[in-house]
């Protein structure tokens, strides 16, 4: 059986339940938000508050508070009872917010009740969109992005294999290879998903989900701004060659990008390079994590000491070997290190 088929099947075992869960949440939340939005134009009937109190849920540090409000109303002579102040009420559990709701609707108060046309048993006290609905939509964003990322992974399995090494020249004459890094789309997804999660948590803690709509609009604007900033940042770094391995034939220097544990670029002269080799495969600490194949560079430092530096950690062995071959050709290295060749020549001269 093809390895692509096996990989696709394994990923689908993960993708299908996550996507199904995300779509189910999307349907539930979007239908609730649509209903709450439409409630602004629902007809009204006069109602009376029959219950208004704060309910305590949990205990100690997990104590939460929610308002319990019930009311009666009549539509065309038919009595009805309701207990929703909004279609999709979402509360952070703050005591102050619950008490404010109870104070707004005291028992015995006469209030307008907004009921759904054709279904008068569905009613609310507070029509229209507020920040709560916008925060609910924001809550869906990380889950949808995760499902989308899994779909992209499965789709890429069937894409043609990219070239193992794709060298190109920059304006300064240096020959470069962009090493494997997260793409701009991945950075945007992480920034948007992380900002959305933080916004939802912050909105629940501060009670912003009960605020006017402009607060929710501001939260969405902040999330979008984070995505735009991350995209521009990642694109600028990639375009500037931040992740490029560079070979400069004029200065005869090799420049390694700040990856594989390096905080800054590492430059070495061609003449100081002793050998290149693909190290033993390294598996991540977590179960199921990718295996990496480190491409190692052996060189001599200013003190004459032999040292090793990781050039890159490739996810495919063939890619690491292709990069090694390309570097060996450009640096004019034979299979034997320059120092070994010089030692052999010295020994031959001594025997002569």
What 3-state DSSP class applies to 333? coil
Report yes or no: 114 and 123 within 8 Å, Cβ to Cβ: yes
Start-end of H helices in the chain: 3-38, 95-104, 131-157, 184-206, 213-239, 317-330, 338-351
What 3-state DSSP class applies to 14? helix
Higher-confidence position of 339 and 314: 314
Q: Phi-psi bin for 300: left (phi > 0), alpha (psi -120 to 50), beta?
A: beta
For the stretch 6-32, pLDDT in tens is 778 888 888 888 888 889 989 988 888
Average pLDDT over residues 115-119: 93
Q: Match 């794709």 to its residue by tokens.
A: 166
Q: Nearest 5 degrees, angle CA 13-CA 19-CA 23?
A: 150
For the stretch 49-75, pLDDT in tens is 999 999 888 777 778 888 999 999 999
Q: Tell me: pLDDT of 337 over 70.
A: no
Q: How sure is the predictor about 213, in pLDDT bands with cuts at 50, 70 and 90?
A: confident
Which two structure tokens, joined as six digits, stand for 102? 């109870």
The pTM of the whole model exceeds 0.95: no
Q: What is the pLDDT of residue 247?
A: 94
Q: How many residues does the chain have?
A: 352
Report yes or no: 48 and 71 within 8 Å, Cβ to Cβ: yes
DSSP 110-132: EEEEEEETTEEEEEESS-S--HH
Report yes or no: 54 and 99 within 8 Å, Cβ to Cβ: yes
Q: Match 């997990």 to its residue by tokens.
A: 62
Mean pLDDT of the residues in the chain: 86
For the stretch 138-150, pLDDT in tens is 999 999 999 898 8
Cβ-proximal residues to 17 (8 Å cutoff; 6+ apart), any chain: none
Average pLDDT over residues 257-285: 87
Q: How sure is the predictor about 90, in pLDDT bands with cuts at 50, 70 and 90?
A: low
């Amino acid at each position: 059986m093809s390895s692509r088929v096996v990989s696709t099947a394994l990923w689908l075992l993960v993708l299908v339940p996550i996507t199904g869960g995300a779509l189910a949440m999307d349907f539930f939340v979007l239908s609730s938000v649509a209903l709450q939005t439409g409630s602004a134009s629902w007809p009204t009937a006069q109602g009376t508050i029959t219950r208004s109190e704060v309910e305590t849920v949990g205990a100690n540090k997990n104590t939460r508070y929610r308002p319990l409000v019930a009311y009666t109303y009549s539509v065309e002579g038919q009595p009805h009872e309701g207990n929703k102040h909004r279609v999709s009420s979402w509360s952070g559990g703050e005591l102050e917010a619950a008490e404010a709701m109870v104070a707004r609707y005291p028992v015995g108060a006469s209030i307008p009740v907004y009921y759904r046309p054709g279904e008068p048993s569905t009613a609310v006290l507070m029509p229209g969109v507020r920040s709560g609905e916008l925060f609910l939509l924001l809550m869906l964003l990380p889950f949808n992005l995760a499902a989308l990322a899994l779909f992209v992974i499965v789709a890429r399995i069937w894409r043609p294999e990219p070239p193992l090494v794709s060298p190109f020249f920059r304006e300064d004459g240096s020959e470069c290879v962009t090493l494997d890094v997260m793409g701009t789309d991945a950075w945007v997804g992480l920034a948007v998903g992380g900002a959305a999660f933080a916004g939802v948590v912050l909105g629940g803690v501060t009670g912003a989900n009960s605020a006017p709509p402009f607060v929710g609009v501001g939260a969405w604007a902040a999330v979008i701004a984070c995505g735009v900033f991350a995209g521009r940042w990642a694109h600028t770094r990639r375009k500037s060659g931040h992740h490029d391995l560079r070979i400069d034939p004029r200065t005869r220097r090799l420049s390694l990008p700040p990856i594989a544990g390096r905080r800054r670029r590492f430059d070495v002269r061609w003449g100081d390079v002793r050998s290149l080799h693909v190290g033993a495969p390294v598996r991540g600490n977590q179960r199921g994590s990718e295996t990496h194949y480190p491409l190692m560079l052996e060189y001599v430092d200013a003190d004459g000491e032999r040292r090793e530096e990781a050039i890159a950690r490739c996810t495919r062995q063939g890619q690491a070997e292709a990069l090694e071959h390309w570097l060996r050709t450009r640096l004019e290295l034979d299979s034997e290190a320059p120092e070994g060749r010089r030692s052999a020549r010295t020994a031959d001269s001594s025997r002569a």
